Structure 1
């Protein structure tokens, strides 16, 4: 878990490689179900084609379908991007109970929302050639001039504008707060400082996961 820009995807990739887990992201799961034309995949596609959010019951059903597959049973799994709400968390608990498995640990990567605004709203694009830059992490070599074509004209996508990013973060905080409390009450929540380097964050996660018997020898 973590807000947009906190580094969930980067850490998920490192975790599944280190611990040989099946990586289950909602995006990949939707794409697979749609391409295989499963009943739930068709339902998900009908909502996505209309630009609507996929309802919880469809998402929950897809997760249950995926967690019941043989690779998950033999290797264990990491969920990335699910659950996002308390209702999804409660549905997941019922799913793992039905499948006679469990959620061992919930990792929440914490970064101050204003720091995330800087991370997420710093991107801008050359209007002439489309080269992408970031004010902090990847600025042009000469300020105000595109490295690729020499243009001085840049623009920022609406999705990257600070006010849009702040609104996106606010929605995520509203959804995540009850879910974080839910897992904290279960004693399954590990809070990780996401302001550290990628390797430092992973070292903290690795230390937590190696407390579990199945990972101690890895």
Structure 2
């Protein structure tokens, strides 16, 4: 089973590249944002619990997020693998994900970390903001805050996977196709 953590700062190209990886390797896409929205819209028990935190402006606790992921994994028993998008964001989340996958007889195969210089990230996000309808992509101050938050809170997760020899840093500069080929080559070398 191929289980990938696709990692990188806002604007690194995770959404674009995850589509290519899903198609190439027939993976199931697990985006925590999508899972939250679906559970909230479906008014599931976990969705209502998550909404209670989100409505107060709080982060959804790891336990709730992991339980939602567990539910999604159980819906796809025949999956060839999963691509985790937007998760884990912290080392405790990475540890919890490892435990969840271990309980299912599998593990993370690789973390693909897209590396992009900060100025390029800002330019990409501002460009995306012109067409995405996402207000957080149009305000340079919000963009900077998101990048700072990533650097402070999320980037250390790379160390967790590096310690397991699962981290592969991918140059995220170039055409979409060039970056896709770098990702494919890295996975195919596993």
TM-score clears 0.5? yes
**Root-mean-square deviation (Å):** 2.1
* Pair member with larger Rg: 1
Whole-Å separation in 2 of the counterparts to 1:10 and 1:58: 27
Whole-Å separation in 2 of the counterparts to 1:81 and 1:158: 16
Q: Which residue of 1 aligns with 2:97?
A: 92
Q: Which residue of 1 aligns with 2:123?
A: 118
SS at match of 1:74: coil
TM-score by length of 2: 0.86
Q: Which residue of 1 aligns with 2:22?
A: 16
Q: 1:38 and 1:164, CA in 2 relative to 1: closer, same or farther beyond 3 A?
A: closer
- Tell whether 2:178 aligns with 1:191: no
2:27/2:79 contact within 8 Å kept: no
Q: 1:41 and 1:159, CA in 2 relative to 1: closer, same or farther beyond 3 A?
A: same
| Counterpart pick for 1:54 among 54, 57, 60 | 60
- Tell whether 2:69 aligns with 1:63: yes
TM-aligned CA deviation for residue 158 of structure 1:
7.1
TM-aligned CA deviation for residue 122 of structure 1:
4.9
Task: Summarize deviations over 1:32-79 as a string: whole Å, max 9, x none.
Answer: 22334332122112222334321222112211221222x254321111
**Larger RCO, structure (CA 8 Å, separation 6 or more):** 2
Q: Which residue of 2 aligns with 1:5?
A: 11
Task: Summarize deviations over 1:10-42 as a string: whole Å, max 9, x none.
Answer: 000110011111111012211222334332122
Segments of structure 1 that go 5 or more residues without pairing to the other structure are 125-131, 134-156, 213-218
The residue correspondences of 1:68-147 to structure 2 (distance < 5 A) are: 68-69=74-75, 71-122=76-127, 132=130
TM-aligned CA deviation for residue 8 of structure 1:
0.2
Flag as ranges the 4+ runs of structure 1 deviating above 4 A. Answer: none
**Number of residue pairs aligned between Structure 1 and Structure 2:** 182
Whole-Å separation in 2 of the counterparts to 1:164 and 1:44: 23
Whole-Å separation in 2 of the counterparts to 1:32 and 1:161: 27
2:28/2:79 contact within 8 Å kept: no
Flag the structure with higher helix content: 2
1:26/1:81 contact within 8 Å kept: yes
Q: Which residue of 1 aligns with 2:141?
A: 163
1:67/1:73 contact within 8 Å kept: no
Farther off after superposition, 82-91 or 159-168: 159-168
1:21/1:77 contact within 8 Å kept: yes
1:34/1:44 contact within 8 Å kept: yes
Segments of structure 2 that go 5 or more residues without pairing to the other structure are 1-6
Q: Which residue of 2 aligns with 1:129?
A: none
